[in-house]
Amino acid sequence: MKQVPDTHNVGKDAMKEDGTMNRAALPAIINPEDLNALEQALRIKDNYPNTQITVLTMGLPKAAEVLKEGLYRGADKGILLTDRKLGGSDTLATSYAIAQAIKNVGDYDMVLCGRQAIDGDTAQVGPQAAEKLSIPQITYAEEIENLTESSITVRRRLESGIETVKCPFPVLITVHGSAAACRTRNAKFYMKNKNDESKIITWGADDIKVEDDKVGKAGSPTTVKKIDSVVLQAKESKKLTDSDGDIDVLIKDLLSNHILG
């Protein structure tokens, strides 16, 4: 799960004068599709109560908030991966660190994650982590259709249709926003975990045995050459009101210029 700035509710003060993002003005939320993924995990646990759900996040120490939310909804434990060394990682370096953390957890059958995060929309970290873990991937999952001791059958949402696939464990699944919404906090889990920090473990780069040249800026093959603020070249536009006369002029203009037929 990832803590992201709420880019969908951008207020007027979200941009600084120089065109960069004023992160402080944006509320931090759990990446929406990560919640869809959590719900799928919780549904499996509903049916198989012995299932152990670990929620994992990488970010600033503050990102532990999303782990708490996971616990309030029914996860068993949380892992916060946080280290200065991991800062500045691009998707490849991030996926490496996450894969190392998952390996450090030990045995697992399934890794569930959101399809993409709203602050970048790349949808890369899931497949990249699956490759680092040398396990198959199922992207854009919408619903788990069947689950057995050894395999999972999943319906995928594609741009132009749907596909149902079956895969043995272990597998990494990225969950699409069209999957079921996540349940809300459970009062019992909330009371139990509110003041209990013991279920959240914090790991740094050394705990997950990363090679230094594979994380952070050094481990990131992409470099930002430059960032340009967008300067809109103002067109000479015709200003109109919503009066009948003005709308009539607009339509006549479009018709006479053959923009409308």
Partner 1 sequence: MNNLFVFCETENGVVADVSLELLSKGKKLAQTLGCKLEAVAVDYNLYNIGRQIYKYGVDVIHVADDRKLAPYQTLPTQKIICDLVKQEQPQIMLFGATSIGRDLAPRVASALRCGLTADCTSLEIGDHEEKKTTKDPQTGELTQTVTPYKDLLYQIRPAFGGNIIATILNLHTRPQMATVREGVMKKEVFDENYKGEIKKIDWQKSVTDLDFAVEIISRHIEKSKINLKAAPVIVAGGYGVGSKENFQLLHELADVLGGQVGASRAAVDAGFCEHERQIGQTGVTVRPKLYIACGISGQVQHRAGMQESSIIVSINTDENAPINAIADYVVTGDVATVLPKMIKYYKANSK
103 or 252: whose CB is closer to partner 1?
252
Q: Which of 1, 2, 3, 5 binds partner 1 (CB under 8 A)?
A: 5
Helix, strand, or coil (residue 103) = helix
Q: What is the DSSP letter of 150?
A: S
Cβ atoms 89, 129 nearer than 8 A: no
Euclidean distance between CA atoms 177 and 139, whole angstroms: 12
53 or 102: whose CB is closer to partner 1?
102
187 or 234: whose CB is closer to partner 1?
234
Tell me the β-bridge partners of 21: 15
Rg (CA), the chain: 23
28 or 201: whose CB is closer to partner 1?
28
Contacts with partner 1, 177-196, as mask; x by CB under 8 A: --------------------
Cβ atoms 137, 127 nearer than 8 A: yes
Side-chain half-sphere exposure of 23, counting CA atoms within 13 A:
6
Ranges within 207-246 binding partner 1 (CB under 8 A)? 220-230, 232-235, 237-242, 244, 246
Ranges within 92-121 binding partner 1 (CB under 8 A)? 92, 95, 118-121
Euclidean distance between CA atoms 229 and 113, whole angstroms: 32
| Piece of the chain touching partner 1 by CB under 8 A; list 34-42, 85-93, 180-188, 196-204 | 85-93
Q: What amino acid occupies position 228?
A: D
Contacts with partner 1, 143-172, as mask; x by CB under 8 A: ----------x----xxxxxxxxxxx--x-
Q: Is 20 among the residues that bind partner 1 (CB under 8 A)?
A: yes
Q: Is 140 among the residues that bind partner 1 (CB under 8 A)?
A: yes
Q: Which of 105, 136, 186, 202 binds partner 1 (CB under 8 A)?
A: 136
Q: Is 89 among the residues that bind partner 1 (CB under 8 A)?
A: no
Cβ atoms 53, 182 nearer than 8 A: no
Q: What amino acid occupies position 149?
A: E
Give least dist CB 118 to partner 1, A: 8
Give least dist CB 105 to partner 1, A: 20
Angle of CA points 194, 2, 37, to nearest 5°: 85
Q: Which of 33, 83, 90, 142 binds partner 1 (CB under 8 A)?
A: 90
Beta pairing class for 137-147 and 151-158: antiparallel
